[in-house]
């Protein structure tokens, strides 16, 4: 048994950063693998996204047909169609809805196992979520975008920087969205059950992230307030606006920078909340 | 290695007091525990439901912060130094899983290697040993959600050991397991403990676990230590005695006494008699008995730890 028995751990001395990166990478991969297990759910989810894509697209195109100059909120028809279909694809990438894993683990007390690992929970959940998002890009994103391309005229980006900025914006949307969801789930530390906050989140995020309609349809003072005072437009509206080139390049870069600030703020907040929670934590059950 | 001094954990519960009013009440789950555990010890930590066993374990592993008192493991204070402590301890909660529900067992192990940053060679060597001793090969590729409880528990034990912890905390590791799986887990732990360089703290309701594995028994009740010592010391303290059960052709004559033993039960019209042995050897008692009565059958029954513990719990 001696070999199973203890030996002082050697934790890659001298290369802590690289070791951390390897750990993070392994956690990302685990997130990817966990979602890759459920193929039927992936197919069913894509199908739903596509059906709702048609609904949303026709509604917005009808709005466009009735608007002055066929440009509601400054979007032309191609931009609107792109907004809808890429948005449908991004839904599963940012994973805005339906994540209750942390809240469930708090409620059942399984959170104890997370605390017994040498990696802080915010880091391990973030890594796993990035893996989930990567899985989303490869499976759930492509379906709606391809269907959109087949049935509607979509925008082709004109500026060279649009695609890299879009990729960055999506990454920040994923991180920001994770931060929001972590905080919503973390209310379970105090409430035992996060279903109430989660319902509020589902309602609020759909409206205020620009899923149900582009936020630009709202009065300007309101859109500006939403953008600056809440992280929500950064979860969906910003990456889509970047892709359809709704604004001049400088403003687009500014919006992405705003996303970045919110992402950092949310992760920091998640860390603080987690630390607070650990201090008062009651692990449920024997 | 492990030290607890005046360790307490209070929980606030709200109790109904009238129609709308609720009163706050403080419940002490752990009520001043002093305990020192040396390296290499195998300690059984038992107590009735709600006695504070799991709460103590959670404080030792850094999952719960104590209300007052001191606790240190390897000189580290568990809650603030939790992540550092996590590298050196292994924990198995019998009622929870530390494995990833959706991943195959083998992949969970690989992930744990990266989380604990174990060098590949060490990881391989430990995994190979566990695979051999716990028969993991048949289900390494099965997702954890499809494993039976016994298989999962063997996986949990492996997962807790892959980073070579010096202390292993086991919270009811045999709960719900069948006899064969229990034996597998026990003999694995016995072998682990025999190597002498792993300290083991085990809570259980199955006293056979303790008898098989632990040389030290700590009994707690209502958050306090009520016994700390060997199993023999527990028997001695509570006067548990071995008993001699004899089946006779004829009932014993009235007024019969056996030196060094007392009658504790007479059944089947006096054809079956139970004596409690007061320290005298069973051989002497049997010889004395055979001299006066015709004995058809006899058996010597060891004191039952369950009885002793039951008495201990009820006294509390």
pLDDT band (50, 70, 90) for residue B316: low
- Tokens 């939403």 label which residue? A226
The tens digit of pLDDT for each residue in B70-118 reads 999 999 999 889 989 999 999 998 888 889 988 999 999 999 999 999 9
Which of helix, strand or coil describes residue B191?
Answer: helix
Could B119 and A10 be called an inter-chain contact, meaning their C-beta atoms sit closer than 8 Å?
yes
The tens digit of pLDDT for each residue in B148-170 reads 988 998 999 999 999 999 999 99
Domain boundaries in chain B? 2-237, 243-315
Which of helix, strand or coil describes residue B41?
Answer: coil
CA distance A38 to A140: 12
CB B205 within 8 A of CB B46: yes
Cα dihedral B9/B10/B11/B14 (nearest 10)? 170
Q: Which two tokens stand for residue A153?
A: 């005229």
CA distance A122 to A144: 31
DSSP state of B76: B
CA distance A62 to A77: 10
pLDDT above 90: residue B248: no
Of B189, B194, B214, B100, whose CA–CA distance to B147 is shortest? Answer: B100
How close does chain A come to B80, measured CA to CA in Å? 9
What is the average pLDDT score of chain A? Answer: 90
Beta strands in chain B, from DSSP E residues, in sequence order: 2-16, 22-37, 42-46, 68-73, 89-93, 167-171, 199-203, 216-221, 224-229, 243-248, 261-267, 272-277, 295-301
DSSP state of B187: H
- Tokens 């592993």 label which residue? B61
Instruction: Compute the average pLDDT of residues A13-33.
Output: 85
What is residue A10's predicted lDDT score, i.e. its pLDDT? 45
Which chain A residues touch B49 with a CB distance below 8 Å?
286
Cα dihedral B147/B152/B155/B157 (nearest 10)? 180
Tell me the percentage of chain B whose pLDDT exceeds 90.
Answer: 31
CA distance A140 to A49: 9
Nearest to B192 among A4, A109, A282 (CB): A4
Domain B2-237 listed as CATH 3.40.50.300: yes
CB B156 within 8 A of CB B136: no
What is residue A284's predicted lDDT score, i.e. its pLDDT? 59
Nearest to B98 among A1, A5, A113 (CB): A113
Could A113 and B96 be called an inter-chain contact, meaning their C-beta atoms sit closer than 8 Å?
yes
What is residue A285's predicted lDDT score, i.e. its pLDDT? 57
The strand pairing partners of B219, in sequence order, are B46, B227
Sequence-separated (6 or more) residues with CB below 8 Å from residue A22: B114, B117
ipTM of the complex: 0.83
Of A96, A102, A128, whose CA–CA distance to A31 is shortest? Answer: A128
The tens digit of pLDDT for each residue in B262-284 reads 888 888 888 888 888 876 677 88
Query: CA dist A263 to A1, A130, A184, A203, B237, Å?
Result: 48, 13, 15, 21, 63
Q: Which residue of B has its CA nearest to A279?
A: B65
Nearest 5°: the CA angle A21, B88, B196 is 145
- Confirm or reject contact between A104 and chain B (CB < 8 A): no
The tens digit of pLDDT for each residue in B167-200 reads 999 998 888 888 888 888 888 889 888 888 899 9
Which chain B residues touch A120 with a CB distance below 8 Å?
83
Strand order in the sheet with B167-171: B89-93, B167-171, B199-203, B42-46, B216-221, B224-229
What is residue A2's predicted lDDT score, i.e. its pLDDT? 44
Of A195, A144, A178, whose CA–CA distance to A42 is shortest? Answer: A144
Q: Which residue of B has its CA nearest to A123?
A: B115
Instruction: Mark out the alpha helices in chain A (DSSP H runs).
Output: 16-36, 39-66, 77-94, 101-108, 111-115, 121-136, 142-151, 162-186, 188-191, 195-208, 220-229, 237-243, 249-280
Of B119, B98, B196, B39, whose CA–CA distance to A9 is shortest? Answer: B119
Q: Which residue of B has its CA nearest to A15?
A: B117
């Amino acid at each position: 048994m001696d070999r199973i028995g203890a030996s002082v751990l050697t934790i890659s001395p001298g290369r802590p950063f690289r070791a951390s990166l390897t750990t993070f990478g392994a956690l990302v991969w685990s997130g990817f693998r966990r979602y890759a297990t459920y193929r039927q759910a992936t197919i069913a989810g894509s199908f739903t996204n596509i059906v709702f894509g048609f609904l949303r697209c026709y509604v917005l195109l009808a709005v466009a047909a009735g608007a002055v100059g066929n440009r509601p909120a400054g979007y032309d028809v191609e931009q609107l169609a792109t907004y809808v279909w890429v948005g449908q694809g991004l839904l599963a990438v940012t994973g805005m809805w339906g994540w209750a894993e942390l809240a469930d683990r708090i409620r059942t007390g399984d959170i104890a196992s997370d605390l017994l690992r040498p990696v802080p929970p915010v880091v391990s959940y973030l890594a796993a979520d990035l893996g989930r998002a990567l899985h989303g890009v490869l499976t759930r994103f492509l379906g709606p975008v391809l269907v959109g391309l087949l049935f509607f005229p979509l925008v082709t980006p004109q500026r060279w920087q649009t695609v890299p900025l879009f990729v960055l914006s999506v990454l920040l949307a994923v991180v920001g969205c994770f931060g929001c969801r972590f905080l919503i789930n973390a209310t379970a530390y105090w409430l035992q059950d996060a279903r109430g906050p989660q319902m509020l989140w589902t309602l609020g995020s759909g409206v205020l992230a620009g899923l149900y309609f582009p936020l630009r349809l709202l009065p300007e003072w309101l859109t500006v307030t939403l953008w600056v005072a809440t992280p929500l437009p950064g979860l969906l509206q910003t990456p889509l606006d970047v892709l359809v080139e709704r604004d001049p390049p400088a403003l687009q870069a500014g919006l992405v920078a705003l996303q970045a600030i919110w992402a950092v703020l949310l992760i920091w907040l998640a860390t603080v909340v987690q630390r607070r929670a650990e201090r008062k934590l009651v692990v449920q059950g024997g | 290695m492990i030290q607890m001094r005046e360790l307490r954990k209070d929980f606030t519960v709200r109790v109904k007091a009238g129609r709308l009013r609720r009163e706050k009440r403080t419940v002490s789950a752990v009520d001043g525990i002093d305990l020192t555990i040396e390296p290499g010890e195998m300690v059984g930590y038992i107590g009735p439901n709600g006695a504070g066993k799991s709460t103590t374990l959670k404080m030792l592993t850094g999952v719960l912060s104590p209300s007052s008192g001191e606790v240190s493991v390897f000189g580290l204070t568990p809650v603030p130094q939790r992540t550092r402590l996590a590298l050196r301890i292994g924990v198995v909660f019998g009622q929870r899983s530390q494995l990833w529900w959706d991943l195959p067992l083998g992949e969970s192990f690989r992930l744990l290697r990266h989380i604990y940053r174990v060098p590949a060679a060490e990881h391989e060597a430990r995994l190979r040993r566990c695979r051999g001793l716990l028969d993991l090969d048949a289900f390494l590729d099965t997702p954890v959600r499809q494993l039976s409880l016994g298989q999962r528990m063997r996986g949990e034990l492996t997962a807790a050991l892959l980073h070579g912890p010096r202390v292993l905390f086991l919270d009811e590791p045999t709960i719900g397991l069948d006899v064969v799986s229990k034996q597998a887990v026990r003999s694995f732990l016995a072998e682990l403990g025999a190597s002498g360089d792993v300290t083991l703290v085990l809570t259980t309701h199955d006293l056979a676990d303790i008898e098989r594995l632990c040389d030290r028994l700590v009994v707690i009740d209502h958050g306090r230590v009520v016994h700390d010592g060997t199993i023999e010391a527990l028997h001695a303290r509570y006067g548990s005695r071995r008993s001699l059960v004899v089946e006779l052709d004829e009932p014993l004559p009235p007024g019969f006494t056996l030196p060094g033993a007392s009658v504790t039960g007479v059944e089947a019209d006096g054809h079956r008699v139970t004596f409690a042995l007061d320290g005298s050897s069973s051989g002497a008692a049997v010889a004395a008995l055979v001299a006066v009565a015709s004995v058809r059958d006899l058996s010597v029954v060891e004191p039952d730890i369950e009885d002793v513990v039951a008495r201990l719990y009820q006294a509390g």
